[in-house]
Structure 1
Amino acid sequence: MAIPTRRSVEMVLEQWSEPHLKQNLIAAKAVRDIQCEEDRIKVQLSLGFPADAYGAELSAMLQQLLREQLQVSRVEIDLGWDVRSHAVAGTVKPLPGIKNIIAVASGKGGVGKSTTTANLALALAAEGARVGILDADVYGPSQPRMLGIDQQPDVLENKRLKPLENHGVQVMSVGFLVDEEAPVIWRGPMVTQALTQLLNGTAWQGLDYLLVDLPPGTGDVQLTMAQKVPVTGAVIVTTPQDIALLDARKGVRMFEKANVPVLGVVENMSTHICSGCGREEHIFGAGGGARMAANYELDLLGELPLDIRIREGADAGKPIVLTDPAGTLAQAYGRIARNITAKIGLTPIDFSASFPRIVVHEV
């Protein structure tokens, strides 16, 4: 039996595509070191996306792959991850305390964007990431109810707001500042000003990712996010229904015109499985999200079913990712969250914080 070499290990890894990166680990520059002995291989990996929960699954896949291909009995995978701050469009600079901002948008209301945002944030927290949510839906803030937070934020000495936290997720919403049943009757400029103050006036604590739950449509709030906020990328949530897809396309075009990368499409309410008979039905149509993603050369990040447990969890302030973390629904949200962050991890890194600040003084 031939003794494995570094090159033989690399050749095996080059033939295997990691499911979330959509490329091999060598090309993704995730391999830090390879050590080979007579009957032992050790591979050191560093992923660009959080993988505390996923790490064991990935290690098991690689161990089986290398054992079978190279006929060795011992394969060790030393897996770590590091979330970096990635480049944003234009001249907008990253905000203090936030490495990456992900805008979660939809062209139409009622497609489950806020529920998706909450569950994705919790899925990322389960992977070990430091996550926050900015509830930018000023007229209909729902994150306080979905995440089970019923209090007002403290004002710190520097007059910034301390984000409220539950289930390991930092949250800021106008819903914390007004009564739950009080309507917010503001004109467009007031809404954008409030959004900017909530974003910049919150003392976010070392976030890897801030998910921004945008209101539906392509109005003032969306334009402010696209033009004045350092957004790393946008995620479009839609249902397979033609009407929802029509509006979702407008959201894609808006971000494209603002040079904000669209990370992909999440198709919500893809199917409904009857709790009584088990029959699966495409009540909103089939394959709409996939066709839209293909038309715009985007990734279909994942499909989520119409399931009563998702709605019940959101209404109760305990999303499904929390109440059934090992279930199929939580696993689906986990895969989508990893698809999003893996794609971010492949984008250029922002090095502005590494450069020294140069000050010129007159002599």
Structure 2
Amino acid sequence: MKIESRRGSERTKINRERRRRRFVAGTKRGKIRQHGTVEQKRWWPWITIVVVPAIIATAGALYSAHLSLQQAGRQEALAQSGANQAVDAELSAKPAVIASVREADYTNSSWVFSRPLSESTVKSIAGYPYAWWRNKGQHLPHDVVSKMEQELVDKKRSLGGFLTVYDCLDSSCKNGSSHLVTVVGNRREKVRVVDIRVKVLDQTEAPHGTLIVYPGEGANAIERIGIDLDDPSPRVMLIPENGGDLRPLLDVKSIDLDRGEQQGFEIIALTSNYRVKWELELTVAYGQSTKEKIRIRSDGTENGAPFDTVPANRDGNYSGGVYVRDNSTGEFPRER
């Protein structure tokens, strides 16, 4: 009995020890399972105090940067708009197309005078004979020769002379005027010529004083435009380089000019009946819907002297005679 009693006591102790160990082990596992929750509770105040404000500050900085970029874009757009308005105001002081005009150099030309000239006067203004050029003129500096030639032109004009050229439009050949015209765009936007027409200002009797003829060939130009002033409604026609029918200029080509871009052409206006004063009238468009009418006269401005085209007829009746240059000598004998 004592032996069994001892064994019972030992089992009890063993069972108690087992239960104690299981309790301890269970408790430790519980602490381990609860450890993450405890740590989270321990770190959460720091997250709230440090991380959240940092996130809010970063978001605020990004939003502020976004607003700053938007404001900078608006300010830049306003500044550009102000600059454009200033440029537009400056450019609007002049027409949308600025023109320059000068007479073309033609070897096949004539000078017509309203009054008769004496043979000595004709000899003094007509030009130097070839013998003078061979013996003296060719040895002179170019600027001196140019000055002498310009002086002869000025003398002819002072005597009421008109320079005329001889050319053909289709099969119709007659005298008239030739000018080199250059147009330049003068707006921020592209300027487009939508219409170009001739406006006749005056028609008077052609002069029949004296005629001086310089036979030769017409000058060549990159772009040649013809106007028949004998037509009741003269049109601006493009002269084909290799022949062919004349066609209205703007039906064949467009004239679009950026700011500062230029385009040049030769305008040949012919007449056989009257002395005609005229001007060009351009209608141009730019921007959204802006249109502007521009007049071009002989000096390139809107208010200068108009183009002045006179006929010349070698077979016509000139009270002061007809003088024709002899191309072999450069002399100007009176033909009749």
Q: TM-score, normalised by structure 2?
A: 0.20
Larger Rg belongs to: 2
Q: TM-score, normalised by structure 1?
A: 0.19
Comparing both structures, which one devotes a greater share of its residues to strand?
2
